[in-house]
Structure 1
Amino acid sequence: MNFSPRTHISPSRTVAVNSLALEKRLAGERVYNLSAGEPMIGTPAVISRAAMDAIDAGKTHYESVSGIPALRDAVSTWMNTTYGSHFSRTQTLVTAGGKHGVSLLVDAMLIPGDEALIVAPYWVSYVSQVEMAGATPVVIPTAEKDGWKVTPADIDAHCTAQTKLLILNNGSNPAGVLYTTQELQAILDMAAQHDIVVISDEVYSGLVYDGVDYISCASFADHVSRVIVVQSMSKHFAMTGWRVGFVFADEQIIRVLCTLQGQTTSGASTISQWAALAGLQHADDIVPVHRAQMQARRDVFCQRFGEAFGHALPPAGSGLYQFIPLTAFGIVETDADAFCTRVLAEANVAMVPGEAFGVGGYVRCSFGETEEELKDAIEALHAYLVK
C-alpha cells in the first residue's frame, strides 16, 4: 500500500523510548524511566472532581469548536494576569494539547517552499510538524557554552526570502533554557526586521525555578501582532493525559485555526475542558506546589548525579529535564543513540538521546519521577557504567 509523502517522517523518539520502557515494565522488569516528558504527580483532586461533576451533570456533548466560552475567558484572564498579555476570549483557541496547537499553526501558516526556523536543541516534534505541512525546517544550532540560546545574529544569518516562521521554545525542552526580557526583545526585533511570525511555545512557563520570573513573548506590546503563544494544562497542572492546550493569537488566525480544528478533532474533550476550568480557577493553589515539587526533584537529581559521577550539572532553569553531555558519565562514547539503546537494554534505565533533539553527544534525563525513583535510577546507572 502506498502512503502520502506526509507520512515519511521519523516516529517521535521520546514516545518510542517511553513506550519501550513501559513495555519492559509490563513484562515484569524493573525499569528506571528517565525518558517520560511529564511530572509524575497525580492530577489535583479539584480537577478530577470537576470532570466527574461534568459527567454527572451530563456535560458530555459537543461544545464550540473553539472551546467552552467559560474556559476561554478563564485562560485568557490567567495569561493576562500572570504574564502581562492582553488576550480576549476571541483571541483564544482550546486545542487537544499544546502539540496539536503547534500542528494546527504550521498547517495554517506554511505552504510548500516556505521555511520555518527551529532552534536546536529542539522539541522532537517541531521538525516533523513542519515537514508534514510540506515546508522546510531550517535548524539554527546553538551551543552549551552559550547557554543553548539563539541570538538575533543567528536568526539573521538563517533567514531567507522563504522564511515565514520562527518557533521559539522559551522554557525549553530539552535544555531548560529561559530567555531574559532583553534577549526576547532583541529576538522579536529581528523577527520584525525579516517580517516573520514567532510561535512562542510556553508550555513550561509554570515550571520556572529559583525564584526567576517567566517572561512571555506576549508581554511585548510592540510585537503583539506577530507573536502567537502556545500554552498547555499538561505540565504545570499535571494534566498530561487530559489533552488540553491553548493558542493565543490575532482573531483572524484563531478563526482559521478553528476551521482546521473543526475538520479534524472538532475540539478538545468537553469533559477535559471542564476539568481544565477548575484547574485555572485554583491555579494559585496548584502551580506553586507543583513548581516546588519539581524544583526539589531537580535538585535531588543534580546532587545525586554529581555524587555518583563527579560531574556538577548546571541545574535546569525550567521544565522537567537535564540535558547532559555523555562526557559527564565518565565515558568516551559520542553516539548518544547507541548509548541510550545499550543502557536501556542492559541496565533498564531509559533516557532519550540528544540526536532526537538535533544535538549529538547528549542525553535528556527527566527529573519528573519521584525522588526515590531518581535516586534509584542514578544508582543503577552508576552500577552499570562504573564497573
Structure 2
Amino acid sequence: MKLARRLQAIKPSATLALNARAKALAAQGVDVVVLAAGEPDFDTPDFVKQAAIDAMKGGFTKYTATSGIPELREAIRQKLEKDNALKFAADQILVTAGGKQGLYNTFQALLDEGDEVIVFAPYWVSYPDMVHLAGGRPVIIPTREEDGFAPDPEAIRRALTPRTRAIILNSPANPTGAVYSRATLERIADAVRGHDCLIVSDDMYEKLLYEGQFLNLGNVAPDLIPRLVVSNGLSKSYAMTGWRIGYVAGPKPLIAAMTMVQDQSTSNASSIAQKAAVAALQGPSDTISAMVAEYKARRDLFVNGLNALEGVRCRMPEGAFYALADVRGLAQRRYKGAPVGDSMRISEILLDDFRVAAVPGDPFGAPGYVRMSFVTSREVLRKGLARLGEFVAALS
C-alpha cells in the first residue's frame, strides 16, 4: 500500500515499543524488571478520582468547547500566575488530550514546509518526529554531559536562520533529568533575543524537582513572553497519564490556530477528565510532595547503584525520573564471544538474557547511553541493579 511520503522520516517510539515488548513478556509470566516506562507508579489522588465520578454521575459526559471548559482554563490561568509568575488570558490557553497533543498542535499550526525548529540533544524522542510531521526540519544542537547538558549559546546563534520558527526547551528534561539554571536560561534568552523565533517551553516535569529551582525562560526574560509558548499537563505531577489532559499557553493568534487544528482532529479533551483536572489544580499539593520525596530516595538509590557498576557512569539528575547512564565503557567488552557494541545492542541483551527493559539512547540523540526510569519500587530497583550487575560480570 502506498503511504504518505512524510511518514518516511518517522520512526516508531522506541520507549513505547520496548514497553509493549516488556509487557508482553510479563503477560507470559516472565519476570521482567521494567525500567523503560515514563509513567508514575503512583495512583491518581482520590480527590481527583472523586471529581471524575461526580462529573459522570452529574451527566457531564457530553462534548465541550474544543479549547476546554471555562473553569479548567481559568484554573490553568491561575496556576501559571501563582506557580510560574506568568500571566496569560483565558483565550491564550488551549486544553489538549495530553501534553503530546499540545506540542503536536503547536507545530502543525506554526510550520510550513522546510521551516526549522532547534532541538537540543539529548531530546525527547517525539520532538524531531513532530516537526517532521508538520513539514519542518529539526535542527539538532548537541549538548555535553560535562556542561550539565546546558546548550552552548554560540551554537544556538550559529543554528538560527531566517527559516528558524521555534526553539524547544525542556527542563527538567527527558531523558537527562537536567534542570536549566537561571544563568543558562539568560544565555539562551540572549542568543535568541535578536531573532523572531518562538520559544516552546515543555514544562511537563516542573513539579518533579530534586535540586535547584524551577524557572521558565519567561521568568528570566520577561521581554520574551510575547514569543513564549508554555506546554504542560497533569500526567506526571498528578499521576494522571491515562486521563490525557495537557495544556498550552501562548500568543493568542497561535492558540487560535492550534484550536482550529484540534477542531478538525480530536475536538475537545475528555469532559470527565477535564473536571478531574480542575480538582487536581485547585486541590492540595501534599500528594505531589510525597511523590517527589519518594522519587528522590529512589533516584539516590538507583543512580548510586549504577555508578558502582564497572564501566557504567551516570550523572545525578536534578529533576524528572530518568537516569541516563553512559555505557560507552562497556562497548569494547565482549558478551558470549562477540563485542557488546552500541547501546541498542546492550538494550537487546538486557531484555533478552537478563530480563531488564531499558531504552537505548540512540532514539534520544544520545548514542552510547541507556535511559532507565526509577518510577518503580525500591525493591524492583534493587532487583534491576542486581541484574545489571550480572550483565556486567558476564562481560569479558
Structure 1 length normalisation: TM-score? 0.96
Q: Contact 2:315–2:324 at 8 Å: present in 1 too?
A: no
**Cα distance in 2 for residues equivalent to 1:162 and 1:312:** 38
Other-structure match for 1:3:
3
Letter in 2 for 1:4: A
Other-structure match for 1:281:
282
1:349 maps onto 2:356 in alignment: yes
Other-structure match for 1:129:
130
Q: Identity of counterpart residues, as a percentage?
A: 36
Other-structure match for 1:340:
347
**In the TM superposition, what is the alpha-carbon distance from 1:185 to its structure 2 partner?**
2.1
Other-structure match for 1:358:
365
Q: Secondary structure at the match of 2:319?
A: coil
1:216 maps onto 2:223 in alignment: no
**In the TM superposition, what is the alpha-carbon distance from 1:234 to its structure 2 partner?**
0.6
**Cα distance in 2 for residues equivalent to 1:328 and 1:56:** 57
Other-structure match for 2:120:
119
Other-structure match for 1:79:
80
**In the TM superposition, what is the alpha-carbon distance from 1:330 to its structure 2 partner?**
8.8
Relative to structure 1, is the Cα distance of residues 330 and 259 closer, same or farther in structure 2, using a 3 angstrom cutoff? closer
Relative to structure 1, is the Cα distance of residues 275 and 328 closer, same or farther in structure 2, using a 3 angstrom cutoff? farther
Q: Secondary structure at the match of 1:193?
A: coil
Other-structure match for 1:31:
32
**In the TM superposition, what is the alpha-carbon distance from 1:286 to its structure 2 partner?**
2.6
* Structure 1 runs not aligned, ≥5 long: none
Residue number among 376, 383, 391 corresponding to 1:384 in the alignment: 391
**Cα distance in 2 for residues equivalent to 1:305 and 1:163:** 39
Letter in 2 for 1:356: P
Q: Contact 1:59–1:270 at 8 Å: present in 2 too?
A: yes
**Cα distance in 2 for residues equivalent to 1:2 and 1:150:** 40
**In the TM superposition, what is the alpha-carbon distance from 1:385 to its structure 2 partner?**
2.5
Q: Contact 1:218–1:229 at 8 Å: present in 2 too?
A: no
Q: Secondary structure at the match of 2:11?
A: coil
Other-structure match for 1:370:
377
Letter in 2 for 1:166: I
1:268 maps onto 2:269 in alignment: yes
- Aligned-residue Cα RMSD (Å) equals 1.6
The aligned runs of 1:211-250 (5 Å cut-off) are 212-219=212-219, 220-250=221-251
Letter in 1 for 2:345: A
Other-structure match for 1:191:
192
Per-residue Cα deviation, 1:47-83 (whole angstroms, up to 9, x for no partner): 1111111111111111111011111111121121111
**Cα distance in 1 for residues equivalent to 2:346 and 2:313:** 21
When structure 1 is superposed on structure 2, of 298-307 and 72-81 the one drifting more is 298-307
Other-structure match for 2:204:
203
Letter in 2 for 1:214: F
Q: Contact 2:110–2:254 at 8 Å: present in 1 too?
A: no
When structure 1 is superposed on structure 2, of 83-92 and 24-33 the one drifting more is 83-92
Relative to structure 1, is the Cα distance of residues 158 and 84 closer, same or farther in structure 2, using a 3 angstrom cutoff? same
Letter in 2 for 1:267: N
In the alignment of these two chains, the number of paired residues is 386
Other-structure match for 2:50:
49
Relative to structure 1, is the Cα distance of residues 325 and 307 closer, same or farther in structure 2, using a 3 angstrom cutoff? closer
Other-structure match for 2:337:
none
Letter in 1 for 2:217: C
Q: Secondary structure at the match of 1:122?
A: coil
When structure 1 is superposed on structure 2, of 321-330 and 193-202 the one drifting more is 321-330
**Cα distance in 2 for residues equivalent to 1:312 and 1:341:** 19
Q: Contact 2:311–2:328 at 8 Å: present in 1 too?
A: no
**In the TM superposition, what is the alpha-carbon distance from 1:305 to its structure 2 partner?**
2.6
**Cα distance in 1 for residues equivalent to 2:153 and 2:117:** 15
**In the TM superposition, what is the alpha-carbon distance from 1:259 to its structure 2 partner?**
0.9
When structure 1 is superposed on structure 2, of 37-46 and 310-319 the one drifting more is 310-319
**Cα distance in 2 for residues equivalent to 1:350 and 1:200:** 29
Letter in 1 for 2:362: E
**In the TM superposition, what is the alpha-carbon distance from 1:328 to its structure 2 partner?**
6.0
**In the TM superposition, what is the alpha-carbon distance from 1:384 to its structure 2 partner?**
2.8
**Cα distance in 2 for residues equivalent to 1:277 and 1:309:** 48
Per-residue Cα deviation, 1:16-55 (whole angstroms, up to 9, x for no partner): 1111111111111000000001111111111111111111
Structure 2 length normalisation: TM-score? 0.94
Q: Contact 1:191–1:197 at 8 Å: present in 2 too?
A: no
Per-residue Cα deviation, 1:165-214 (whole angstroms, up to 9, x for no partner): 1111121100011111222122123222122111110100000103x220
Q: Contact 1:230–1:247 at 8 Å: present in 2 too?
A: yes
Other-structure match for 1:19:
20
Q: Contact 2:331–2:342 at 8 Å: present in 1 too?
A: no
**Cα distance in 1 for residues equivalent to 2:19 and 2:177:** 20
Q: Contact 1:309–1:330 at 8 Å: present in 2 too?
A: no
Q: Contact 2:99–2:232 at 8 Å: present in 1 too?
A: yes
**Cα distance in 1 for residues equivalent to 2:234 and 2:2:** 37
Q: Contact 2:313–2:326 at 8 Å: present in 1 too?
A: no
Q: Secondary structure at the match of 2:29?
A: coil
**In the TM superposition, what is the alpha-carbon distance from 1:313 to its structure 2 partner?**
3.5
Per-residue Cα deviation, 1:223-251 (whole angstroms, up to 9, x for no partner): 11111010010111111111100101022
When structure 1 is superposed on structure 2, of 259-268 and 176-185 the one drifting more is 176-185
Relative to structure 1, is the Cα distance of residues 182 and 384 closer, same or farther in structure 2, using a 3 angstrom cutoff? closer
Other-structure match for 2:336:
none
